[in-house]
Amino acid sequence: MLIQFSFKNFKSFRDEATLDLSAAKMTEFAERVVTVGNERILPIAAIYGANASGKSNIYNAFEYMADYVIESFKYGDEEERFEEFKPTPFLFDSVSEEAESSFEVYFTIPGDKSERTYNYGFCVDAHGVTEEWLNTKARTARKYTSVFYRSVEEDVLDLSGLPKNSRENIRVALEQQVLIVSLGAKLRVNKCKDIRDWFLANEFADFGDLFTNFFLSRRLPKGFVEDTSVQKQVIEYFSSFDEHIKDFEIEKLPNDGESKEEVYKINALHKKIDSDTFAAIPLGMESAGTLKMFALYPELQDVLEKGSVFFIDELNARLHPLLVRNFLLTFLNPEINTNHAQLIFTTHDTWQLSNQLLRRDEVWFTEKDEQGISKLYSLADFIDESGSRIRKDESYEKNYLIGKYGAIPTLKSIDIFKEA
């Protein structure tokens, strides 16, 4: 489970920002808090804020970190790929523009009976990796122990926590653009592979991106074509929000030879109102909301099975608020979410901003100041004008919309169409 994610000097975030999923000391919804070792971890984090306040950049930062961990072993051989993948620092400051960007996580690995906690991070600039570290802590330990540490500035490469027979191979093959974790995983070093695999298991969905919407709406759930039991599970999933779809009709289409992937035509079967027969409707003709829920199913299936993290940008887009609420309850119900999967999402949907659904430490806000610098803060840490913390019985939605917590747009009338 993700305990904490921090990053610095990335896009609109010049200063360090921390998304903390460790549970604060509060009484509401205590039953949903997951205890792993000495950590008390939350299953969900909701991020609110005005347009262009930086919400999506938190999603981008976590996705960037994951992609770099998974892919960077290739960048030493293909330096032009690194040129395309360099981080985007905060550009409105001449110092930050040339500085490194940093990314760090604290997490536990699903299924790890030892309940060990991991701390992994790296810094990267326009030339490559400048610093990288991996530390671990046993359940009974008070302090973290180092697995490896690397610093270009200090000319340090300490691999003492890795197996002896792997150290020389890493030393010889390691290049400036490549992460030790990524290279070590490629070389089948288990301690590196465990970290890489944790990132690999996490899922991302950006529903503010048209290409992502197009791709995800055409991705089929695992086993959907050949396994009728999977199809029945999808029907049951749909029935939670749309009981009109009763079954699916799947037809394999001839391959045109240009693509190696098999192509299928999928019809949703709807019962006719005047008979016991069904009308076959091409899946692409279903509503945007139904297609989005179909797109969410494969990732939802994977994260619930693996106990991984599902990060969604603009979860509320094209979905009814009650449907979003039902989706959140999947993660908040320990009887369904038995493997402790987590959901982190950005949204404008204030219907979910309720003390009847979310804890104060599960609500986060982004705000951008007049210099274009974004900051991230939690409702649990927010101090109002009187110097008091937010109470659990407040109307979060009402107070947010009137500006009590900040993180809302500053509006002016749209008077450009006003007659002169």
Higher pLDDT, 416 or 365: 365
Which one-letter DSSP state was computed for residue 286?
S
Domain boundaries, the chain: 2-202+308-401, 221-293
For residue 266, name the pLDDT band (cuts at 50, 70, 90): confident
Q: State the pLDDT at residue 88.
A: 95
Nearest to 376 by CA among 4, 3, 2, 1: 4
Q: State the pLDDT at residue 210.
A: 58
Residue 401 has pLDDT above 80, yes or no: yes
Q: State the pLDDT at residue 167.
A: 96
Average pLDDT, the chain: 88
Quote the percentage of the chain above a pLDDT of 70. Answer: 92
Mind listing the pLDDT tens digit for each residue in 98-143?
A: 999 999 999 999 999 999 999 999 999 999 999 999 999 999 898 9
How far is residue 124's CA from residue 145's CA, in Å, rounded to a whole number?
23
Most confident of the following: 24-28, 179-183, 294-298, 332-336:
179-183
Angle between helix 190-201 and 55-71 (nearest 10):
140
Say if residues 389 and 382 touch (Cβ distance below 8 Å). yes
CATH of 2-202+308-401, one of 3.30.460, 3.30.110, 3.30.420, 3.40.50: 3.40.50
Helix (H, G, I), strand (E, B) or coil at 275: coil
Mean pLDDT (whole number) for 74-98:
87
User: At a CB cut-off of 8 Å and minimum separation 6, what does 402 contact?
Assistant: none
The vertex-175 CA angle with 174 and 179, nearest 5°, equals 70
Beta bridge partners of 365: 48, 377
Higher pLDDT, 314 or 181: 181
Mean pLDDT (whole number) for 382-393:
80
Higher pLDDT, 287 or 364: 364
Produce one character per residue of 31-57: b if its CB has 16 or more CB atoms within 10 Å, e if not: ebbbebbebbbbbbbbbbbbeebbbbb
Higher pLDDT, 147 or 222: 147
Burial class (CB in 10 A: 0-12, 13-18, 19+), 102: buried
Mean pLDDT (whole number) for 270-284:
86
How far is residue 345's CA from residue 322's CA, in Å, rounded to a whole number?
16
- What is the chain's Cα-based Rg? 23
Q: State the pLDDT at residue 217.
A: 53
For residue 81, name the pLDDT band (cuts at 50, 70, 90): confident
